[in-house]
Amino acid sequence: MVTEAVVELEGPSGRPKYDDLLSNPTSDAQAAGHMRASAVYKQKGDRFKLATQAFDRQYAHIYFQRLMLMKPPLLTKVRQKWPGVQLANILTLPENDEVLVVGTVYKDMKLKPSILDEYVKDRGASQLVGRTKFVGADDSIILEDESARMKLRGEGLPVGQLVTGVVMAVKGVAAPGGDFQVNAFCFADMAPQAPLPSLSEDKYVALVSGLGVGDDAADPLKLSLLVDYLVGSLASDEEQTRVSKIVRVVVAGGLLKSTEGLLQAITHKQPRQQAAALAPIREVDMCLSELAGAVPVEVMPGNNDPANHSLPQQPLHRCLFPLASSFTSFNRVTNPHEFEVDGISFLGTSGQNLDDIYKYSVEENRLTLLQRMLEWGHLVPTAPDTLTCYPLSDSDPFILQSAPHVFYVGNQPAYSSQMVAGPEGQKVLLICLPRFSSSGTLILVNLKTLAVHPIQFDADISA
């Protein structure tokens, strides 16, 4: 069970306005500049790096490995919760005896899009156009283990909240007709967490996503202000002191509005046309190189970025960033991405996992869905059913073996954050990062207090 707590906010209340961003230095110390703080960094996302990229395997292996890896710790928990209840598999369920079964959820949804719908006369793709969710009142839950599958029923079963791919334990009785009457259910719950270190001074990790370079509707001045702020070229002495304590910047995907320009550059024969098509990625490279010259930068690929589409997305190719790649402080990382700064662990994605779960759950609050991922013990449960991933046969890198201190997702419709607590005293800061191109929002996380400091950049002088 995960409980909610109040997240601490730093900075001005409401919508902060930094009217002194372009102010003159107020002291000789400010004119001389500030020394950038440093922190101990540790890369923890090696499991998301693929040694080989083979597509000659069946996706069924992923579900089997997920169940085999998550079943033992889940059994340990349910045997403490339901002592004396016999474990059974679906194929040999006894009649009229209360048993517990561990399996993988499959959510049967009539509205779920299918490529075959295009060829069905009475239900075409046009019926699904415009939908943001595909849940319906007639959805049902099927549980599958190593031996067989069965349909679950029960008044307390959270059909609308569950999604395909979740591993769960159910307690109940086999009903006539092959269904299973559920009396209680249990998930893996939040994984163990490393102790929160005690830090003596304020340090910050900056999180941003959805730069959306190449979007004609976006204001390019926002991005310019963001870069100038992070390198320390803006703000008053007080704000520059805070900026000097930013030890790392993480860009959680969404660098480009789309990759259409890169594809067009291949077909264009005229140098002028090629230069125009490549302008967005060159602008990104210039911005990132300027940032990397002042602070360590990590760039994750996103849904519309020039990277592989299947999760885990591998680092963007260095040829896309000829300027930024010349800095040792510039790091191209995977999506998902896990790292540690001064003992504070971060785990995040560019948003595809949360966006996909949102479509197949009745839940509207995206922070609640992040909570559910921690309770389910899995980062991307809907892959490979409705979200593409590599057909891994011997592991599942998305299983949450440990709980992070900060869990973030990028490219969300709006900013939100929340602190949640686990059953063993774990505390996780959840953050939904909005698209910068539309919101102009940068998030600073204080490593000492885990307080959140949102900063909004607006180029509209009348705002």
**DSSP assignments along 408-457, one per residue:** EEEEESS-EEEEEE-TTS-EEEEEEEEBHHHH-EEEEEETTT--EEEEE-
The predicted structure's pLDDT at residue 60 = 83
pLDDT-based confidence at 13, cuts 50/70/90? very low
pLDDT per residue as tens digits for the range 241-253 = 999 999 999 999 9
pLDDT per residue as tens digits for the range 29-77 = 444 568 999 999 999 999 999 987 777 778 888 999 999 999 999 999 9
The predicted structure's pLDDT at residue 235 = 72
Q: Concatenated DSSP letters for 282-319? A: HHHHHHHHHHHTTS-EEEE--TTSSS-SSBSBPPPPGG
In the predicted structure, residue 129 carries a pLDDT above the cut 80: no
The predicted structure's pLDDT at residue 29 = 45
In the predicted structure, residue 199 carries a pLDDT above the cut 60: yes
CA 250 to chain centre: 13
Structure tokens at 116: 């075959």
Give me Rg for the CA atoms of the chain.
Answer: 24
In the predicted structure, residue 16 carries a pLDDT above the cut 60: no
Phi-psi region for residue 210, left (φ > 0), alpha (ψ -120 to 50) or beta? left
In the predicted structure, residue 168 carries a pLDDT above the cut 60: yes
The predicted structure's pLDDT at residue 349 = 98
Is residue 165 within 8 Å of 105, Cβ to Cβ? Answer: yes
The predicted structure's pLDDT at residue 31 = 47
H or E, element range at 184: strand 180-186
pLDDT-based confidence at 117, cuts 50/70/90? low
- Coil, strand or helix at 93: coil
Give the residue-averaged pLDDT of 13-23: 50
Structure tokens at 142: 């099927």
pLDDT per residue as tens digits for the range 212-233 = 998 877 788 999 999 999 999 8
CB-based burial, 144-169: b 16+ in 10 Å, e otherwise? ebeeeebebbbeebebbebbbbbbbb
Q: Closest Cα partner for 428 from 409, 414, 455?
A: 409
Give the residue-averaged pLDDT of 388-397: 90
For residue 223, what are the contacts with CB-CB under 8 A and spacing of at least 6?
211, 213, 287, 436
Q: Which residue has the tokens 């070229």?
A: 233
The predicted structure's pLDDT at residue 234 = 83
Q: Closest Cα partner for 368 from 382, 378, 358?
A: 358
In the predicted structure, residue 395 carries a pLDDT above the cut 50: yes
How confident is the prediction for the chain on average, in pLDDT?
Answer: 89
For 344-415, where are the E strands, in sequence order? 344-349, 406-412
Cβ–Cβ contacts within 10 Å for residue 400, how many?
20
For residue 414, what are the contacts with CB-CB under 8 A and spacing of at least 6?
432, 434, 439
The predicted structure's pLDDT at residue 205 = 98
Give the residue-averaged pLDDT of 122-130: 54
The predicted structure's pLDDT at residue 20 = 54
More confident residue, 338 or 268: 338
